[in-house]
Structure 1
Amino acid sequence: MFSKSNLLATLVGAVVMFFLGYLIWGIATVDFFADHTIVNTMKEVPNLGLIALGNLIGAFALSTLYSKWARGHHSMSEGFQFGAWIGVFVGIGMGLIWYATADWMDMTGHIAEAVIDIIYYGIIGAVIGLVYQKTAAKEK
């Protein structure tokens, strides 16, 4: 669980999560989601420290799960596939539950969020898979 590969994948994954998340939700899709938000619950100034900590914990969980899921077959494509399934869980599974229980966004917003989540977590998974591939113990 605290192997060199897992810790390095966690660190790299957390950095990518933080900056890619900012690029996607903080810059690229702000206007789109503003148009599809029903009730705005966003803070005026987000706590970047807690976002970074959340990304670190999330990346550790993803990296640990990936190491079990991949069973030693590490690659960017394996990682992307793993991450995409996480995106399906979060974006579609949880998105439908949020749509059914809260007035946060309209259906268009949730569908867009699901697609973005699948791609976002796919990229994070690919990065984690690549780190595992590059740091895996070499067979003699």
Structure 2
Amino acid sequence: MFSKSNLLATLVAGVVMFFLGYLIWGIATADFFEEHSLVNVMKEVPNLGLIALGNIVGAFVLSSLYSKWARGHHSLGEGFQFGALIGAFVGISMGLIWYATANWMDMTGHIAEAVIDILYYGIVGAIIALVYQKTASKK
């Protein structure tokens, strides 16, 4: 669980999650989601320290799950597939539950969020797989 591969993948994936998340949700889609939000729940000034910590914790969990899922077979494709499955869980499964229980976004916003989550976590999974691939012990 605290192997060199896992810790390095956690660090790299955490940094990627932080900056890619900012590019996606903070810049590229901010106006889109503002149009499809039903209520404004955003803080005026987000706590970047907690966002970074959340990304590191998330990256550690994803990296730990990936190491068990991959069973030593590391490739970008496998990593993307792993991450896309996580993204489908978050974006589709949880998105439907949020849509059914809260007035956060309209259905268009949730559909877009699901697609973005699948791609975002797919990229993160591919990064994790790449780190595992590069740090795997040579046999």
TM-score, normalised to structure 1's length? 0.99
Q: Indicate whether 1:29 and 2:29 are aligned.
A: yes
In the alignment, what sits opposite 2:121? Answer: 121
SS at 1:44 equivalent: coil
In the alignment, what sits opposite 2:17? Answer: 17
Q: Deviations over 1:4-38 (max 9, x none)?
A: 00000000000000000000000000000000000
Task: Please give the alpha-carbon distance, in whole angstroms, between the structure 1 residues aligned to 2:108 and 2:135.
Answer: 41
Task: Please give the alpha-carbon distance, in whole angstroms, between the structure 2 residues aligned to 1:60 and 1:26.
Answer: 23
* Deviation at residue 137 of structure 1 after TM alignment: 0.4
| Identical-residue share of aligned pairs (%) | 83
Task: Please give the alpha-carbon distance, in whole angstroms, between the structure 2 residues aligned to 1:106 and 1:15.
Answer: 30
Task: Please give the alpha-carbon distance, in whole angstroms, between the structure 1 residues aligned to 2:103 and 2:40.
Answer: 9
SS at 1:12 equivalent: helix
Equivalent position amino acid for 1:95 in 2: G
Q: Which stretches of structure 1, 4 residues or longer, exceed 2 Å deviation after superposition?
A: none
Task: Please give the alpha-carbon distance, in whole angstroms, between the structure 2 residues aligned to 1:15 and 1:36.
Answer: 28
Equivalent position amino acid for 1:38 in 2: L
Task: Please give the alpha-carbon distance, in whole angstroms, between the structure 1 residues aligned to 2:121 and 2:40.
Answer: 24
Q: Deviations over 1:32-89 (max 9, x none)?
A: 0000000110000000000000000000000000000000001111100000000000
Alignment of 1:43-58 (within 5 A): 43-58=43-58
In the alignment, what sits opposite 1:135? Answer: 135
Root-mean-square deviation (Å): 0.3
In the alignment, what sits opposite 2:83? Answer: 83
SS at 1:18 equivalent: helix
Equivalent position amino acid for 1:5 in 2: S
TM-score, normalised to structure 2's length? 1.00
Contiguous gaps of at least 5 residues in structure 1: none
Contiguous gaps of at least 5 residues in structure 2: none
